[in-house]
Every structure is written in C-alpha cells, then in structure tokens.
Structure 1
Amino acid sequence: MRILLIGYGKMGKTIEQTALAKGHQIIGRLTHSNVQELQNYTSANTDVAIEFTHPESAFANISYCLENGIPVVSGSTGWLDKYEDAQALCADNNGAFFYASNFSVGVNLFFHFNEYIAGKMKDYKEYSVAIREVHHLQKVDKPSGTGITTAEGILASYKDLSGWVSDNPEETTKLNIASEREPDVVGTHIVTYSSGVDTLELGHIAHSRAGFAEGAVMAAAWLQGRQGVYGMKDMLNL
C-alpha cells in the first residue's frame, strides 16, 4: 500500500516502522508545519491515509480525504462531536472511513468483555462502577477516547446512569471516568465494580505503542476495496 501519514508524532513514527516492516510504502509524512501539502495527495497517488492528529485538526483532515477519494483510517480523539458529519461525508462521497479510539486488538477484546460484564453486573445494585484511565503527560484529551468508549459500553446496560462525567466521583447519577497523567505511561484502563464486601476489576495495560500501530496498519489493509464507515468490531468480527 501507498500510505500517507497525517500526523508524525510518536504514534505516526511507530506506524511508519510497522508499515515499512510489512513491505508498505510511506509516500508522505504531514505535521502541523507542512499540513498544507495535504492538497498534493489524491486517490491517484494514495491508497490510504492514516490520521493521528489533534482534536482541532482531525475533522478537516478526514474531510479532505473523503472528499478526494482517499480511504482514511483515523485514531484521533477529542473530535467526536463531528463524527456524524464524517459519516454523512463518507456516504455522500462513497468513501471509506475507519475510526477507532484505540487500534489495539487487546483493547478491543477488552471493550468486548467490558460490555459483557456490564450486562451481568447491572443486576447487582450493591456494586458501584467506575473507570480509571492513565496516560502519558503529552496526551491532550481528558478523558481518553478509549475511556469514553469503555464508558459507552457500560452505559448501554446501565440505564439508570444518565451519561459519563470526568473526574467527579461525587456525581452518583453518572459514570465517573478518573483521568491521570503520568510520565512514560502508554495507556492503562481499569473498570472497577466495588461493594462493601469485595471488588471486581477488568483492566488493560499497554506496554508499548506497537499494538496500536499493528492494528492501524491492519485496518488500512482491511479497508482497501471497501466503502462505508467501519470500526474494530467490523474488522475483528466482534
């Protein structure tokens, strides 16, 4: 594949290493300093774009790709208030869009088990549920996109909770997501069910970015020849 990297931070560089090791070609590396060069890329010279940028730029990057026939894989978080707009844009342009808040296969199995456990635990009212997520100091958005996806998986079963809240454990009508930022942490997500007599936990701890990069490159290959909006559940058949 001819891959355009939109975003060339730690994640972009890890994706590059993974893609090259698999025999793919990196045809461009865009950052905030040269993002105007995006207009040089079209479906004629690009098989897929892999986009990992910031909340304020993600939707514009995704829009350009969809409007110009470039299949796009995005892992940017913090922009999902425009996700429905991206879906509509994809449909209008017969495009291909793959979004995940986290591309790790292990994390997506975590999502799957999280939904299953929540479906069982909702009947045991003596247990309170909460989420804790820990990331590196450079992570901009709080809570993380993975933390929000985890919350949504729980809220699908917990109809008595009206949504999620960030760093407010005193709020009893919503699911609390506690966010911590520490040096050299790739990503930790833990769901805790606590009662007066015991505690149950489901967790995922990433040891490196390699798992995220593997999943992103896998998604880029899987997206070839497809139209529509997809996610990890589609690719992994969960």
Structure 2
Amino acid sequence: MNLAIIGYGKMGQLLERIAKQRGHKIVSIIDTHNVADFDSDAFRSASVAFEFTTPQTAVDNIKRAWEQNVKVVCGTTGWASALPSVLETLRSDGKSLFWASNFSVGVNIFWAINRKMARLMNRFAQYEVDIEEIHHIHKKDAPSGTAVTLAEVVADELSRKNGWTLSPQREHDKIEITAIRQGDVCGIHTIRYESHEDTITLTHEAKSREGFALGAVVAAEFMEDKEGYFTMDDLLQL
C-alpha cells in the first residue's frame, strides 16, 4: 500500500520503519519545510496518510490531505474540541478519518477494563478517583490525550463525576488529572480509587513507542477499503 507521512519527528520516523517492514511503500513525507508537497503527484498517490504533528496544525493537515482524496490516520491529540466540525466535513464530503488518542492495543484494553471498573465503582461513593500521567519532556499537550480519554471513559460510568480538571485545579464533581513531564518516559497512566480504608490502583506503562506506531500502521491497513470515521474500538472490536 502507498502511504504518506505528515510530521517527520520521532513518531513519523518510526512509522516509516514499521510500515516498510510490513511491506508498504512511503511515497511522500511532509514536514514543516515542504508543506507545498500536499499538492504533489507523490502525495496524491498515497492511499492513506499518517498525521502526527501538533494540535495547532492537525485539523488543517487533515483537510489538506482530504483535498487530495487521501484518507487520514491521525494520532495527534489536543484538538478534540474541533472534532465535531471535522466530522461534519467528513460526512458532507465523503472523506475518511481514523483518529485515536492512543494506538496502543494495550492502552485500548486498559480503557475497556476501566470502563467496566468504573461501572462497578459507581456503587461505592466512598472512593475518590484521580488520574496521573507521566510523559517525556518534549510532549506538547497536557494532560495527554490518553489521560483525557481515560477520564471521559470513567466519568461516563460514574454518576458522581462530570468530566475532568487539570491539577492543581480541583472540582469535587470532576476527575482530577495530574500531568508530569520528565526524562524520556514513553507514557505511564495510573488511575486510583482511594477511600479511608484502602487504595485500588490500575496502571498502564508503555515500554517503547513501537506499540503506538504498529497500531497506527494496522489502522492504515484497516482503512484501505473503508470510508467514514473509525476509532480503535472499530479496529479491535472492544
């Protein structure tokens, strides 16, 4: 399959390597110095483009890819507030997008487990819940998209919670997220249910970025013969 990469940082380079290992061809790589290449025969020849850039540029990149009739697998986080309008364009113009705040199979299983856990914990109001996420110092958004998704998954099942807030801000009806940036940590997400008597903790720790990249390449393969909007729930059937 012909693939394009938008954003050639660490993740873009890893996507290139794993895609080639799986027998795909990278026909175009677009970064800040060559954005004019969106309007090129090489980019137009791609079946799917990976978009891993910044929250400020993601929506424009998606739309520029769509203008060339290229499907998009997007892993950029921090722009979810614009997703409804992006999906309106997708439906009206017949475009295709696969978006995930985290492409790791393990993280998506972690979310599924936490949905069931929160459903159970809804009966036990004595437990307060909070989330901590740790990432490398170069991560641009805080909290992470993974932590936000986790908070939304849990809040949907806990009647005493309505959304999330970023520490040190606190609101009794919201899940507090603490975001820590240190070293070259790939990603550690921990959720705690704490009462006066005990603490229940669930943690997911990424050992490398390869799991994220592999999931994104598998998502591109999944998208090859499909149209519309898809997420990891569609891919993994969770």
The count of aligned residue pairs is: 238
Local SS of the residue matching 1:98: strand
Instruction: Answer yes or no: is the 8 Å Cα contact 2:38–2:68 preserved in 1.
Output: no
Q: Distance in 2 between matches of 1:229 and 1:72?
A: 10
Q: Distance in 1 between matches of 2:32 and 2:215?
A: 24
TM-score (norm 1): 0.96
Q: Distance in 2 between matches of 1:105 and 1:17?
A: 19
* 2:106 corresponding residue in structure 1: 106
Divergent runs of 4+, >6 A: none
* 1:38 corresponding residue in structure 2: 38
Q: Unmatched 5+ residue regions in structure 2?
A: none
Q: Distance in 1 between matches of 2:6 and 2:41?
A: 11
Q: What one-letter code is carried by the residue in structure 2 that aligns with 1:107?
A: V
Offset, 1:235: 0.4
- CA RMSD after TM alignment: 1.3
Q: Unmatched 5+ residue regions in structure 1?
A: none
Instruction: Answer yes or no: is the 8 Å Cα contact 2:27–2:43 preserved in 1.
Output: no
Q: Distance in 2 between matches of 1:29 and 1:52?
A: 12
Q: Distance in 2 between matches of 1:102 and 1:86?
A: 19
Instruction: Answer yes or no: is the 8 Å Cα contact 2:3–2:46 preserved in 1.
Output: yes
Local SS of the residue matching 1:56: coil
1:193-218 per-residue CA deviation (whole Å, 9 max, x = no partner) reads 01111111111100000000100000
Offset, 1:64: 1.5
Instruction: Answer yes or no: is the 8 Å Cα contact 2:127–2:195 preserved in 1.
Output: yes
2:218 is equivalent to residue 218 of structure 1: yes
Q: Distance in 2 between matches of 1:42 and 1:83?
A: 28
Q: Distance in 2 between matches of 1:189 and 1:237?
A: 22
* 2:48 corresponding residue in structure 1: 48
Local SS of the residue matching 1:216: helix
Q: Distance in 1 between matches of 2:78 and 2:44?
A: 30
Matches within 5 A, 1:110-121: 110-121=110-121
Instruction: Answer yes or no: is the 8 Å Cα contact 1:67–1:89 preserved in 2.
Output: no
* 2:207 corresponding residue in structure 1: 207
Offset, 1:43: 7.8
Q: Kindly tell me: are residues 85 and 24 of structure 1, through their superposed partners in 2, closer, same or farther at Cα, counting changes over 3 Å?
A: same
Q: Distance in 2 between matches of 1:109 and 1:67?
A: 34
Offset, 1:71: 0.8
Offset, 1:168: 2.7
Q: Distance in 1 between matches of 2:87 and 2:189?
A: 28
Local SS of the residue matching 2:157: coil
Q: Kindly tell me: are residues 113 and 34 of structure 1, through their superposed partners in 2, closer, same or farther at Cα, counting changes over 3 Å?
A: same
* 2:6 corresponding residue in structure 1: 6
Q: Kindly tell me: are residues 43 and 190 of structure 1, through their superposed partners in 2, closer, same or farther at Cα, counting changes over 3 Å?
A: same
Offset, 1:160: 2.3
Q: Distance in 2 between matches of 1:97 and 1:56?
A: 18
Matches within 5 A, 1:128-207: 128-168=128-168, 170-207=170-207
Identify which range, 165-174 or 192-201, moves more after superposition.
165-174
1:180-205 per-residue CA deviation (whole Å, 9 max, x = no partner) reads 00001000111110111111111110
Matches within 5 A, 1:12-91: 12-40=12-40, 44-91=44-91
Q: Distance in 2 between matches of 1:106 and 1:234?
A: 15
TM-score (norm 2): 0.96
